[in-house]
Chain A
Amino acid sequence: MNDRIPRLHLISDRRLCPLDRFPEVARLAVDAGVDAVHLREKDLPGGPLAVAGRALRRAIGDRALLFVNERADVALVVGADGVQLPETGLSPREVREIAGSRLLIGRSVHDIDGAERAATEGADFVIAGNVYETGSKPGQAGRGLEFVRRLAERCPIPVVAIGGITPERVPEVLRAGAWGVAVISGILRDAEPAEAARRYREALDEVIGGDD
């Protein structure tokens, strides 16, 4: 039943990669093995967000899942596959009532309670972090592998780990119980984003067997 939950998530950040370039970067990353792309631009109004979402959808086609952060309305309008809900705001249950089965629902969490609540409220997976210290959230200490382990034990839905995960760290994160990993700067800050994506994919496939 986890078949549809992607393993390697790329999350946008227009401070690192402007939105006019991101669709092409995402397309190359998808070619290299990324299987979910998230549009996460919190301060963008609905209009420009929908334009960006459509451009992404065109760029990646149906070769990877498209998620819109927080806004289920934009996700539905641009034909995204899912919505990624922040820890506070509309709950997975409330969004499910609006979206029915048209959207996968991810919930971002930072502790075990949040993860268990997300599962109870009908989320399909959680993104949990940050596992290591990360350039995206400087000064915030990583929660560590033990955090991933406990979360994966307690949380009945897939746990996607985020925060400072490099390709080299992918094996230990997966062995701690993570279903997959989500990456921002690890791909977007790389001079060769597609190459970076490929390294993540290879690291993932080595652990999960590459038959996923």
Chain B
Amino acid sequence: MARADWPPERLRRALRLYVLTDRGLSRGRSEVEIVQAALAGGATAIQLRWKAGPLAEAVRAGRALRELCREAGALFVVNDRVDLALALEADGVHLGVEDLPLVEARRLAGDRLVIGFSPSTLEEALAAERAGADYLGVGPVYGTATKADAGPAVGIEHVRQIAVAVSIPVVGIGGITAGNARPVIEAGAAGVAVISAVVAADDPRAAAAALRSAVDEALAGRV
């Protein structure tokens, strides 16, 4: 897999419904089970994300998710670690402000990985685009309990500001549900990223399907 496999239009479409894994929220269900359901429901991108526990488990789960995403034609992204992303032959890596600097990650990964970045400010968003980010995750759009470190909600206006200012696609993240996804898309986002709305759902497949419909309808309405 390589960045070249995800030219701008394909990447943009792959960002419509972006689901992040979270073992703490999955109510005992494995990453594989959740991701299978999410993909069946219409998820277009999956991010492997783990906050604690042995890396060996992340590696094992990552191998399985790699295959699932390949079969589904979905974008497979690894959180934080460029080495793990390369070893798993992921499509991409997602970096935050605490992670390896984007320029260095790009130098290391070359064109082997799509790189996503989570800016806190418009300035960081612009700098990330210059440094070679392929997409941005912007949020938290709404209040969220999932990411304790995510900070206060920045709102729809923030998404709009950044989406207008950069030419790479933006996904909104943070407290997004099928019920409130539309304004995020209308603000210019290419898609929405969710954790608990799918991972903690009684029926992750149905939850993903509802989100995907909401995003697709909003995208259709925007054109």
Which residues of A are interface residues toward B (Cβ below 8 A)? 45-48, 50, 70-74, 76-77, 86, 88-90, 94-95, 97-98
**A71-B81, A77-B100 given; A95·B108 CB < 8 A:** no
Inter-chain contact B82/A89, CB cutoff 8 Å: no
Q: Does B86 interact with chain A (Cβ within 8 Å)?
A: yes
Inter-chain contact B99/A72, CB cutoff 8 Å: no
> With A and B bound together, what is the CA distance between A50 and B82 in angstroms?
13
Report B52-86 residues with CB < 8 Å from chain A CB: 54-56, 59, 80-84, 86
> With A and B bound together, what is the CA distance between A48 and B104 in angstroms?
13
Inter-chain contact A46/B87, CB cutoff 8 Å: no
Inter-chain contact B54/A88, CB cutoff 8 Å: yes
Chain B proximity of A156: nearest CB distance (Å) = 24
Inter-chain contact B104/A50, CB cutoff 8 Å: yes
Inter-chain contact A73/B100, CB cutoff 8 Å: yes
> With A and B bound together, what is the CA distance between A88 and B56 in angstroms?
5
Chain B proximity of A26: nearest CB distance (Å) = 22
Inter-chain contact A47/B59, CB cutoff 8 Å: no
Q: Does B105 interact with chain A (Cβ within 8 Å)?
A: yes
Tell me the dominant secondary structure on chain B's binding face: helix
The one of B55, B96, B108 in contact with A77, judged by C-beta atoms closer than 8 angstroms, is B108
The one of A45, A76, A98 in contact with B80, judged by C-beta atoms closer than 8 angstroms, is A45
> With A and B bound together, what is the CA distance between A45 and B98 in angstroms?
6
Which residues of B are interface residues toward A (Cβ below 8 A)? 54-56, 59, 80-84, 86-87, 95-101, 104-105, 107-108
**A45-B80, A98-B83 given; A90·B59 CB < 8 A:** yes
Highest count of chain A CB atoms <10 Å: which of B80, B83, B84, B98: B83
Inter-chain contacts of B108 with A (CB < 8 A): 73, 76-77
- A88-B56, A94-B87 known; 14 new pairs, CB 8 Å cut-off, are A47-B98, A47-B99, A48-B98, A50-B100, A73-B81, A73-B83, A73-B100, A77-B100, A86-B55, A88-B54, A89-B55, A90-B55, A90-B84, A98-B83
> With A and B bound together, what is the CA distance between A94 and B100 in angstroms?
20
The one of A47, A88, A95 in contact with B100, judged by C-beta atoms closer than 8 angstroms, is A47
Tell me the dominant secondary structure on chain A's binding face: helix
Inter-chain contacts of A98 with B (CB < 8 A): 83, 86-87
Inter-chain contact B99/A88, CB cutoff 8 Å: no
Chain A proximity of B91: nearest CB distance (Å) = 16
Inter-chain contact B82/A73, CB cutoff 8 Å: yes
Highest count of chain B CB atoms <10 Å: which of A45, A48, A97: A45
Chain B proximity of A122: nearest CB distance (Å) = 14
**A76-B108, A77-B108, A98-B86 given; A47·B101 CB < 8 A:** yes
> With A and B bound together, what is the CA distance between A71 and B93 in angstroms?
14
Inter-chain contacts of A45 with B (CB < 8 A): 80, 96, 98-99
- Give me 19 A-to-B residue pairs in the complex whose CB atoms sit less than 8 angstroms apart, sorted by A's number: A45-B80, A45-B98, A46-B81, A46-B99, A47-B98, A47-B99, A71-B81, A71-B83, A73-B82, A73-B108, A77-B100, A86-B55, A89-B54, A89-B55, A89-B56, A90-B59, A90-B87, A94-B87, A97-B86
> With A and B bound together, what is the CA distance between A72 and B82 in angstroms?
8
